[in-house]
A and B are shown apart, each in its own frame.
Chain A
């Protein structure tokens, strides 16, 4: 039995005010356009959005509505034209390439539809990669990578190359890689887009576990049942937020009951 409770934006606002939750993400009037010599395509047309620490959010919307663009802005992979963006309390305006790299490395973990594992590195080496850019000692990296592989249930596959893993396994390796730096937030663009429903389910279970530990998770999806497993869905349309609703997850409910 599925019980869904929709909560309006204003109600959420009320909750926020009554129970001050740390703001992980705060966007104010974020605008972004892609310009060529002849045309300007407005993709984000003034996004106002707040995501509290520990939230589990999905972003939905039709193709071309700006979901990936928004996620890339959130992930500091792309810059924005105007507005204000605060991540973990710090302004992300006009970051240098180096500062951007630093914040990505320390605060953010990424998930991708096509996993983006390096084909010539084994699973544990892939997981260890972000620590390389933290100048962590190699043995320490290796140890940690195995720890995180164990968490996603793939310790036995540590020495395997990505091509020797299934899609679901690869995504779990990628999630282990995203987690290894102990980020504050995980951003994933259609992480289940390339997976069948059973594997999608497993991967979503993993995200749920991550979120249960208090890590903020924001993912983009096209699929309703994926969105329903998150706690809040933001609907984008034509570069603007058209809807924002809270769910009560079935899993939580069944535990509570």
Chain B
């Protein structure tokens, strides 16, 4: 006799009975919660669109990636004069890879520009890149056809080439070119695939045109010793790339006899700071949106609480009678709580549904019409936000009903049933 039977028609008859009797009042209350959750989800969805838009502009470059290259020194050190230009070699890359923990992938790159490339009667002049296989993961690149260079290519110094999509088109037309040979400065390389940027932007033109070969092969075929131009590496998951950056730069300075306090000598760059500051900005915006949304929602919930208080007051006699008939305080509390949770949940769920549909519809329209805003892209409602909102609603309903429910449980049947 402790709990109220949730699946008994009387339990729901009570709730619908009150709702029917006070249509306008219940409706307005429900509207408050509806609007609160609608606004919350809608602004969060729009915020997500803004965020997606801005992050899209980063390209799809991994955010935990570090670029390292040599520059002229500025501080004398151990007999070396300033202005010296350190040379980075494959040994440096291997050293960093083997001696510094927290590196996920690493790849050097050396670029030879304006090389003569011939297939049959077609001749082009393009950039040749010598790399390791991991470069495709470090840069925002993807394979269009076939494959990228792999570990075996690098180890065995194979004469294979992956061709930028535009160059492939110029050289092979409709053919993928895979399996055929391309002559680079007279040397034949077998084509294993074509590649390009994940997203075509003005600054990814080069990726459309370059030809990638194993760096080891490049050194054997085109000379240049062990030299590399720069290398790229990524931090292991959960490792801050700026910390990795410090370790790498310090180690390289030591290796190349560069003063530890020299601001130059080893240059490096990563997107963490930029990324971080934008992420912070959006963290702030999202927090603000939650704040505003929750505020609106709270107003709705206070409204429900208020209505429930009035309802309890109006139903004092009924509650007194129920007590006389054997209702326990717990059953009275459940009755009011269920009613409150019911009103908030239904109206809130509708609000959630409407705003999700609106945000999703907006996204669908943008996709269908090919709309492309600079800083707005793919607005969406996170599943976790939706679930969070639902949980919030049930909790809110309970909170809203709690004070009225306790009040109801304390109704004195003698007072309530007094014959006036």
- Please give the residue numbers on chain A whose beta carbons come within 8 Å of chain B beta carbons, in ascending order: 72, 75, 77-78, 97-98, 101-102, 104-106, 110, 112-114, 116, 118, 120-121, 125, 129-130, 132-135, 138, 177, 181, 189-190, 193
User: How far apart sit A118 and B328, CA to CA, in the bound complex (Å)?
Assistant: 18
Q: Does B330 belong to the interface (CB within 8 Å)? A: yes
- Supplied contacts A78-B414, A98-B330, A116-B317, 6 more A-B pairs, CB within 8 Å: A78-B412, A104-B326, A116-B324, A116-B417, A138-B8, A138-B10
Are B413 and A120 closer than 8 Å at their CB atoms? no
User: How far apart sit A133 and B8, CA to CA, in the bound complex (Å)?
Assistant: 11
Q: Which residues of A contact B317 (CB under 8 A)?
A: 116
Q: Which residues of A contact B21 (CB under 8 A)?
A: 120
Given A78-B414, A98-B329, also A189-B419 (CB < 8 A): yes
Chain B interface secondary structure, helix, strand, loop or mixed?
helix
Can you list 26 residue pairs at the A/B interface with Cβ under 8 Å?
A77-B414, A77-B417, A78-B414, A97-B329, A98-B330, A101-B328, A102-B1, A102-B326, A104-B323, A104-B326, A106-B326, A116-B317, A118-B321, A120-B21, A121-B13, A121-B17, A130-B325, A130-B326, A133-B325, A133-B328, A135-B1, A135-B5, A138-B9, A138-B10, A189-B419, A193-B419
Given A120-B21, A132-B10, A133-B331, also A72-B414 (CB < 8 A): yes
- Please give the residue numbers on chain B whose beta carbons come within 8 Å of chain A beta carbons, in ascending order: 1-2, 5, 8-10, 13, 17, 21, 317-318, 321-331, 412-414, 417, 419
Smallest Cβ-Cβ distance to B317: which chain A residue: A116
Q: Which residues of B contact A102 (CB under 8 A)?
A: 1, 326, 328
Are A112 and B325 closer than 8 Å at their CB atoms? no
Are A101 and B419 closer than 8 Å at their CB atoms? no
Q: Tell me the minimal C-beta distance from A131 to chain B in angstroms.
A: 9
Given A135-B1, A138-B9, also A101-B327 (CB < 8 A): yes
Please tell me which one of the listed residues B13, B17, B328, B414 contacts residue A98 in the complex, with CB atoms under 8 A apart: B328
Q: Which residues of A contact B322 (CB under 8 A)?
A: 129, 133
Smallest Cβ-Cβ distance to B409: which chain A residue: A97
Q: Which residues of B contact A135 (CB under 8 A)?
A: 1, 5
Smallest Cβ-Cβ distance to A97: which chain B residue: B329
Please tell me which one of the listed residues B1, B9, B412 contacts residue A134 in the complex, with CB atoms under 8 A apart: B1
User: How far apart sit A98 and B331, CA to CA, in the bound complex (Å)?
Assistant: 10
User: How far apart sit A210 and B330, CA to CA, in the bound complex (Å)?
Assistant: 32
Are A101 and B321 closer than 8 Å at their CB atoms? no
Q: Which residues of A contact B323 (CB under 8 A)?
A: 77, 101, 104
Interface-centre pick from A113, A116, A135, A181 (highest chain B CB count, 10 A): A116
Please tell me which one of the listed residues B2, B325, B329 contacts residue A105 in the complex, with CB atoms under 8 A apart: B325
